[in-house]
Structures are given as C-alpha cells and as structure tokens.
Amino acid sequence: MRNLYGGKGKNNWSLFLLLLGGIVIGGFIGQYLGKVPYMQWINYGQEFGFKNPIVLDLSIIYIQFSFKMEITIASILGIIAAILIYKRI
C-alpha cells in the first residue's frame, strides 16, 4: 500500500479516520446499549466544553462558536478497537 508521500506503509490520515470512526461507532453503541438495564455502565462518561457559546457580532454577520465533547466508556472501547485495527493493517 502506497501512502501520500510515495512510500509504503501506514499514514497518519488512516489512523485519524479510524480513531474518528471508532469514537462515533463507540458512541452509537453506548447510546443504544445504555438503554439495557444491565449495560448502563457502558454509557458512563464525562462531558466537557464551553458552557456558553462564544459570540462574535459584526453587525453584518453574527457568529457563535461552541464546543462540547462527551467521552464515555463505549467511545474509549471504540478508540481501542480502532488502534487494534490500525496495527493489523
């Protein structure tokens, strides 16, 4: 497999995309399995980000910046699965 730089092997974009996919799929799995009574622990996590959005009012354009992220056990398991898949490629 050739990467963007002409060499063989893995590249950082494939790792980034696998990690992003692992986080998203882990989040979906956690959201659905969290509804099962004995699997609620998988949706346990911490949320962080901006409480109030940052506002930029230029009279012509009104822009709001906001960032919120929730890390759960399921998303961490998704990250671990993505790293294992990356190592096997």
Is 35 contained in some domain? yes
pLDDT of 3 higher than 60? no
Q: Answer yes or no: is 65 within a domain.
A: yes
**Which pLDDT value is given to residue 83?**
92
Q: Let me know how long the chain is.
A: 89
Residue 7 within a domain: no
Assigned domain for 5 exists: no
- Does a structural domain hold residue 33? yes
The answer as to whether 1 is a domain residue is no
Mean pLDDT of 68-89: 91
Q: What phi, psi does 5 have (nearest 5°)? A: -95, 5
Q: Which pLDDT tens digit goes with each residue over 22-66?
A: 999 999 999 999 888 898 899 898 999 988 889 999 989 999 999
The range of the structural domain enclosing residue 78 comes to 12-88
pTM, two decimals, is 0.72
Q: Count up the domains in the chain and report the number.
A: 1
Query: 3 lies in a domain?
Result: no
